[in-house]
Amino acid sequence: MALPQKILFPPEKICMDWQQRQRAGAGLYNLGNTCFLNSVLRCLTYTPPLANYLLSREHSDSCCQQGFCMMCIMEVHVNDALSTSACAIQPRAIINALSWHFTLGVQEDAHDLLRCTVTAMQRACLAGSSAWDISSQYTTIVHQIFGGFLRSRVMCCSCKAVSDSYKAFLDVPLDIKGHGGSPQRQLPGSHGQLLLSVWARAFPPAQSTPFSPLQAASSVAASLEDFVKPERLAGENSFRCSRCGKKVTALKRFTIDRMPRAHTLCLKRFDFSSKKIGKFVQYPQYLDLRPYMSQGAAEPPLYTLYAVLVHSGGSSQAGHYFCYTKFYACVVQEKPCSSSPHVLAFL
């Protein structure tokens, strides 16, 4: 990709650790099937580089937008949530701001809302900067925190010619439908230690249930391997090779070319009919993405899990959302239920 003509936010100003010692913030009232929104807000509020920026009020000090600005709204919310002495607050400003995206009182897919919110923040950061080249638009504070780039490489099976293209992303959706697993059998293992400790708090012995947070199922590693697995392009899907001058059989492969600072993985829990794929997916506390990177890409960091967003129920329009977020050495949790992770966030 071409170098940006302008850096819209200096990367050296992004702090990955909490800059101010904060108390665990206020909870959020459920205002009528708004648990999906509350869970998304909690995950964003406890993303340290984003929270640091919003707590500084740097955006509102320089914002010149008239009317709706998602960054200004999130700035007010994060400051309220982390500074109030109240046990819980009502996120009405966020609900009003996003009312065009969902209907109040109706359950929605939390990942859709997460993507909508982060995209709206990205657009807010680009207000007045839309004339900049596309590479410059990827240098906002939002894209530098959540954004990365995928490389799509197509290789002709005849002449071995290679064609590369790049696509920006704010999260990575992972297919889990093709993997085995049952939500009823228990899986011993070394992964998920953070969730194990949280589950112990969420379900003390007197309230224990037969559900285990680590059950026999597919894994994030298996889904990532499928994500970067080469796809054969043949028949009607043949690739037109410029060197061969005709349609040929080719191999297409996605790899992660540039890593985000905060890496969000969405497990595709719902099919086209909104029915849920309910099996549990084994996931690590530490995520090594080197096997899924483009050759020659910068060495990625070892990511640490900091937020888990969970759905309990049979479809995206029903059930309950809740989340676990890591805050310093503590875990901030919404009301726990027995279910499976939908969104995983790593720093």
Give the model's pLDDT for residue 2: 85
Helix/strand/coil for 55? helix
In contact, 8 and 129? CB cutoff 8 Å: yes
Give the model's pLDDT for residue 177: 77
Taking only the tens place, the pLDDT of each residue in 220-241 is: 999 999 999 999 999 999 999 9
pLDDT at 247 exceeding the cut of 70: yes
Asked which of 67-71, 92-96, 100-104, 172-176 is least confident by mean pLDDT, the reply is: 100-104
Residue 146: C-alpha distances to residues 115, 149, 238, 256, 264 (Å):
10, 11, 34, 14, 7
Give the model's pLDDT for residue 12: 97
**How big is the chain, counted in residues?**
347
Taking only the tens place, the pLDDT of each residue in 80-117 is: 999 999 999 999 999 988 887 788 788 888 999 999 99
Ordered DSSP codes for 157-215: TTT--EEEEEEEESSEEE--TTS---TTSB---SS-HHHHHHHHHHS-GGG--S--SSB
Give the model's pLDDT for residue 216: 33
Contacts of 164 (CB under 8 A, 6+ apart): 151, 152, 153
- For 107, what's the count of Cα atoms within 13 Å in the CB-facing half-sphere? 14
Among 35, 156, 241, 323, the active-site one is 35
pTM, to two decimals: 0.85
Burial of 108 (C-beta count, 10 Å sphere; 0-12/13-18/19+): buried
Contacts of 236 (CB under 8 A, 6+ apart): none
pLDDT at 328 exceeding the cut of 80: no
Q: Which amino acid is at 259?
A: M
User: Would strands 250-258 and 148-156 be described as parallel, antiparallel, or unpaired?
Assistant: antiparallel
Asked which of 46-55, 191-200, 256-265, 315-324 is least confident by mean pLDDT, the reply is: 191-200
Task: Rounding to the nearest 10 degrees, give the CA dihedral for residues 331, 16, 41, 128.
Answer: 180
Give the model's pLDDT for residue 332: 58
Among 59, 77, 263, 320, the active-site one is 320
Sign of the Cα torsion 175, 316, 109, 216 reads negative
Give the model's pLDDT for residue 210: 35
320 is catalytic: yes
What confidence category does residue 162 fall into, taking pLDDT thresholds of 50, 70 and 90? very high
pLDDT at 34 exceeding the cut of 80: yes
In contact, 276 and 184? CB cutoff 8 Å: no
Contacts of 79 (CB under 8 A, 6+ apart): 54, 55, 57
